[in-house]
Structure formats: C-alpha cells, structure tokens
Amino acid sequence: MIESGMPPSVESNLPPRKVRVDLGARSYDVLIGRELLSRLPEFVALHVIHGPYAVIYDVRVDGLAGKVEEALKNAFRSSVQAGEKSKSLEQAAFLLQQMAERRIPRSGTIVALGGGVIGDLAGFVAATYLRGVNFIQLPTTLLAMVDSSVGGKTGVNLPEGKNLVGAFHQPKLVVADLDALATLPAKEFAAGMAEVIKYGAIRDRALFERVARGVTPQDADLAEIVEKCVAIKARIVEGDEFETKGERALLNFGHTIGHAIEKATGYTRYLHGEAVALGMRAATWLSRREAGLSQEDARDLEVALLANQLPVVLDPAVDSQAILGALGNDKKVAADGGNRWVLLTQSGEAESGRTISPNLVAQAVEYLRVHPDDL
Ligand SMILES: NC(=O)c1ccc[n+]([C@@H]2O[C@H](COP(=O)([O-])OP(=O)(O)OC[C@H]3O[C@@H](n4cnc5c(N)ncnc54)[C@H](O)[C@@H]3O)[C@@H](O)[C@H]2O)c1
Ligand SMILES: [Zn+2]
C-alpha cells in the first residue's frame, strides 16, 4: 500500500498500455498494466464517465471492491456469489432492483469487478437497466482480461443452456489491472492461458512462441502478452461487432470439441479453458491431417499446453460417445449439418469453414487418450 505523501512507485508513473476498440460511436479503450485500480479516478475523468457508480463484484475480490469504492467518489457496491450459478435471470433481476432502489440515473455507470461471470452478468444489467446505462469492465481473471471483457457480449444462462439470454452492450472503458491476478488460483490462471495460446496459434506466431515457454502472473512481459491478445480480439470484433459475418469464427479454435467436452461432463469436470486446451490439441491433430499443419508446429502446441499446466489427456472416466453426442448439438454446427471447424495451417495462422467427417472427428477425440510423450 502506498501512503499518501510517499513518492509513487515507478509503475504508477507509467502510462498503461492501451488498446483502442474502434466501433464508431461505441469505441472504447482497454487499459492494461499494474497498479491501475487506484488510478480509476484519473481514467474515468479522462474518459468522461460519470457517477454514481454501481460496483457489481465477485465476493472473492472483496478487497479490490473496497479499493474501487474508495477510489471512486459516489460509488455503491453489490456483491455477487462466486460461480457460474450467479449468471442467472434471478440474480440479474435482483441487481436491477438494487439499481432502481438506489436510483442510479441514466447517466450513471455500472462497474463490473470480477471474472467473466460478473462481466457478463453486470453487463447484462447495464444493457437493460433504463434501456442501457454506461458500463465499465474491471476484469480480475486472465480469461476476462483477454476475452470476455472485450467485445460487448453480455448475458445470463437459462436452465436450458448457457448464454441463452443477453444483449450486445459495449463498455465505455476496460481496465485490466494485472495485480488483481495475484490472488487468482493457479488453475484459473492456466485456464486463461488456454485462450492466450489460442490467440497466438490463430494469429500471432511470435506471441505463440513466447507463451509456449510458459507464463506466470508475475512475468514482466505479461502486460504485453495481454495487450497482444486484446488487440487480436479487438480487430476481430471490429470486423464483426454483432457476430453476423462469421468473422469471429477463428476465435472458436479448440472450442468445438472443447464445448462438447464441457457439455458431456456436465460443466463440472473441466474449467472452460481446460476443455479448450483439450479441444485445441484435438483440432491440431485434425489440422495435421486436413490443413497441412507441420508435425513440428503441432508438437509446439502440445508443448505450449504442457508448459502452462493445461491438460492434454482426457480423463479416462469421460466417455467418447458422450463427447461425440454433444458435438451433434454444438451451437457452431453449420446450416448444412457439418461442423465448421477452425484448423491451423501453421503456427499463427488459421482457417475456418471446414467440414470434417464424423469418423475423423472420432479419431481426433481418441487421440486425446494418449499423452504426447507416449506417442
Ligand atoms: N462475454 C464474452 O464474450 C465471454 C467470453 C468468454 C467467456 N465468457 C463467460 O465468462 C465466464 C467465465 O469467466 P471466468 O473464467 O473469468 O470465470 P469466473 O468469473 O467464474 O471466475 C473464475 C473463478 O475465479 C474467481 N476469481 C475471479 N477473480 C479472482 C481473483 N482476482 N482472485 C481470486 N479469485 C478470483 C471467481 O470467484 C471464480 O471462482 C463464463 O460464464 C463464460 O460464459 C464470456
Ligand atoms: Zn473460450
């Protein structure tokens, strides 16, 4: 903690890294760095985002919520239980009522402080309360920093399925303070790394080669790594803000089989990023067969997963048929009934739109039974 009167640390003098998401009237900045939450007053003033601020936060980041409330004048806070269960209509209704009770005006701002669950939930509240109020994302998980806080997709789950209710509602500002990651469980950090590896694999060979050596929350170049991921997502979102052109499809690399694994295991056995890690390994095998990916590049993806403590072998208790069955219901199934696969042509380059025979898909799932070192 820096006491007032003490000289600010070197970090706090540095301007944060900034990625502009260019969406015309809905453009915004993503700021990335360390010691940023205490500088929020500076950032909201610069971006002309007014209070009152309703800070919706995950109970697990209670300490940070205190800091944010202290930093922002005229802020209220509402805690939300940790976990996917909180991404519900009931929770959204409760929060909407709180906004009304506190008379948050149209000019006020909802602030999400937490991971993707809080971002999606608070974003949905911001999209619907008074037909839409200002929204700020303060992501506290690696996944939220590189993925869910950027792009404007907000929403909640229904008992029938995930993310079935929602709205596009872009934030006015995203502040990713890497210091928030200090308390994040290692497993959650690794799950976020799966998305980081994905960005490198589909778009940026240099990023891929860097992250293949393994990344920790303390790494000096973490801000640069997050910045690169956010920039890749920003460019893709800019080209397809409302997901109508299929340009966002590349972001689904590893997600077709990943989603099927999550579904087949009732969303309990693997974190999303862990399932995506397995899905990327399977998609890499398919890329070797169908998209000309070299053996060396395929091996590098496995190395990257291993270096970041991600799973590469499927739990033997998970049934292949259950995964293949779940694939049939994948929401990314193309109109012609085939899966639109995203495959790598080389490290840093991907293509989408492939249809793959069910037989080959089954072989890719079986490939996940064997550890790369035992092949
Ligand atoms: N909107 C989008 O574009 C988009 C994209 C990807 C994922 N998502 C959504 O994001 C959600 C997953 O996000 P997530 O992985 O961040 O999950 P999460 O929000 O559940 O956070 C993961 C876990 O970490 C805890 N946590 C968060 N920050 C912490 C911190 N700094 N210290 C200690 N613990 C902390 C949480 O309590 C939770 O237990 C899913 O609901 C998914 O649908 C949305
Ligand atoms: Zn994902």
Give tens-digit pLDDT for 312-343: 999 999 999 999 999 984 444 444 456 579 99
Two tokens, residue 304: 């990257």
The CB of 184 under 6 Å from ligand 1? The reply is yes
CA distance 250 to 241: 14
Range with the poorest average pLDDT among 3-12, 190-199, 365-374 = 3-12
> Mean pLDDT, to the nearest integer, of 36-55?
96
Substitution site in 37, 56, 60, 137 for ligand 1 pocket (most atoms within 8 Å of beta carbon)? 60
Look at residue 22 in the predicted model and tell me its pLDDT: 98
CA distance 306 to 309: 5
Look at residue 106 in the predicted model and tell me its pLDDT: 97
Bigger pLDDT: 247 or 155?
155
Substitution site in 68, 143, 255, 262 for ligand 1 pocket (most atoms within 8 Å of beta carbon)? 143
pLDDT in tens, 180-232: 999 999 999 999 999 999 999 999 999 999 999 999 999 999 999 999 999 99
Two tokens, residue 95: 């929060």
Mean pLDDT for all residues in the chain: 93
State the DSSP H helix or E strand holding residue 158, giving kind and residue range, or none if neither. strand 153-158
**Residue 80 near residue 57 (C-beta atoms within 8 A):** yes
For ligand 1, atom 32: residue with the closest CA: 184
Look at residue 168 in the predicted model and tell me its pLDDT: 98
Substitution site in 79, 188, 331 for ligand 1 pocket (most atoms within 8 Å of beta carbon)? 188
SS3 content of the chain, % helix, strand, coil (to 5): 50, 20, 30
CA 272–ligand 2 middle distance (angstroms): 6
The CB of 216 under 6 Å from ligand 1? The reply is no
Specify the pairing of strand 134-139 against strand 109-114: parallel
Look at residue 207 in the predicted model and tell me its pLDDT: 98
Look at residue 107 in the predicted model and tell me its pLDDT: 97
> Residue 1 pLDDT > 70, yes or no?
no
Look at residue 121 in the predicted model and tell me its pLDDT: 98
Which ligand has its closest atom nearest to the C-alpha of 166?
Answer: 1
216: Cα within 13 Å, side-chain hemisphere = 2
Look at residue 330 in the predicted model and tell me its pLDDT: 47
Look at residue 337 in the predicted model and tell me its pLDDT: 52
Atom of ligand 1 nearest to the CA of 162: 43
> Residue 309 pLDDT > 90, yes or no?
yes
CA 188–ligand 2 middle distance (angstroms): 13
3-state secondary structure of 351: strand
**Residue 187 gets which letter from DSSP?**
H
Could you give the angle at the alpha carbon of 50 between the alpha carbons of 49 and 51, nearest 5°?
A: 135
**Residue 98 near residue 69 (C-beta atoms within 8 A):** no
> Residue 310 pLDDT > 80, yes or no?
yes
Bigger pLDDT: 79 or 338?
79
CA distance 128 to 165: 11
CA 204–ligand 1 middle distance (angstroms): 25
CA 12–ligand 2 middle distance (angstroms): 32
Look at residue 25 in the predicted model and tell me its pLDDT: 97
Look at residue 329 in the predicted model and tell me its pLDDT: 46
CA distance 173 to 179: 18
pTM: 0.95
CA 117–ligand 1 middle distance (angstroms): 5
CA 197–ligand 2 middle distance (angstroms): 11
Look at residue 4 in the predicted model and tell me its pLDDT: 46
Look at residue 13 in the predicted model and tell me its pLDDT: 63
